[in-house]
């Protein structure tokens, strides 16, 4: 028997006390209202939350238009402004949860790495990138962005060795670009 079945066992639903918890809109048009109630068992005072969904029509000012009875009951416990605030909080929390999920997936699949974590996959990826066969057509963009980042390093940016910097600019593959960057970096 699950928690809900256990809660309702040997109790008349009409005997349950109902307490308002929160309400929020669940669509962009703000026409569907999700209401959370706490149902309180008359014998045990145990609570279980129940969601109720109703349709609401708002006028141009955002005020209820011909509100259903359930909506009038909700407004005894909260305000339209609080419902909008709850909606904004819910949307923000859902977005944050989604972003964490996507980030976890990307980490799991090796699409991003955390340097601080000591993740050896980072180093494997660096080595693979440095020593992989270089395809001048397919990897041209990678090489371009690598050179851009290398020229952002202070020791390379401020280097007076114009010849070495020219060699870095003309490097034909990732390994050669890194080699020239290291030469400049260690001279400075």
pLDDT, tens digit (0-9, with 9 covering 90-100), for 129-143 = 888 898 999 999 999
Mean pLDDT of 115-141: 81
Mean pLDDT of 45-53: 89
The Cα 147–Cα 168 span in angstroms is 8
Least confident of 32-36, 42-46, 83-87, 118-122: 118-122
Average pLDDT, the chain: 88
Q: What is the radius of gyration, based on Cα positions, of the chain?
A: 31
- Read off the pLDDT band of 63 (50, 70, 90): confident
Which pLDDT does position 91 carry in this prediction?
Answer: 96
Which pLDDT does position 143 carry in this prediction?
Answer: 93
Does 1 have pLDDT greater than 80?
Answer: no
Which pLDDT does position 117 carry in this prediction?
Answer: 64
Which pLDDT does position 79 carry in this prediction?
Answer: 93
Q: Could you count the other beta carbons within 10 Å of the beta carbon of residue 92?
A: 10
**8 Å CB contact between 49 and 21:** yes
Which pLDDT does position 119 carry in this prediction?
Answer: 66
**CA quadruple 15, 16, 17, 22: dihedral sign:** negative
Which pLDDT does position 118 carry in this prediction?
Answer: 66
Least confident of 9-13, 39-43, 118-122, 148-152: 118-122
Which pLDDT does position 106 carry in this prediction?
Answer: 86
- Read off the pLDDT band of 174 (50, 70, 90): very high
Which pLDDT does position 115 carry in this prediction?
Answer: 64
| Strand (E) or helix (H) holding 175 | helix 174-187
Which pLDDT does position 138 carry in this prediction?
Answer: 92
């Amino acid at each position: 028997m699950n928690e809900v079945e256990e809660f309702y066992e040997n109790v008349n639903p009409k005997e349950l006390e109902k307490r308002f918890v929160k309400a929020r809109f669940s669509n962009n048009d703000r026409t569907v209202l999700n209401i959370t109630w706490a149902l309180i068992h008359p014998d045990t005072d145990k609570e279980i939350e129940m969601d109720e969904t109703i349709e609401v029509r708002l006028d141009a000012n955002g005020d209820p238009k011909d509100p259903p009875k359930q909506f009038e009951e909700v407004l005894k416990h909260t305000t339209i402004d609080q419902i909008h605030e709850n909606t904004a909080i819910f949307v923000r929390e859902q977005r944050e949860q989604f972003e964490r999920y996507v980030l976890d997936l990307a980490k799991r699949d090796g699409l991003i790495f955390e340097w601080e974590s000591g993740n050896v996959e980072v180093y494997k990826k660096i080595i693979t990138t440095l020593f992989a066969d270089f395809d001048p057509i397919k990897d041209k963009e990678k090489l371009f962005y690598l050179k851009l980042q290398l020229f952002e390093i202070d020791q390379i940016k401020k280097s007076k060795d114009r010849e070495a910097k020219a060699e870095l600019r003309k490097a034909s593959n990732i390994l050669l670009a890194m080699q020239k960057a290291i030469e400049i970096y260690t001279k400075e």
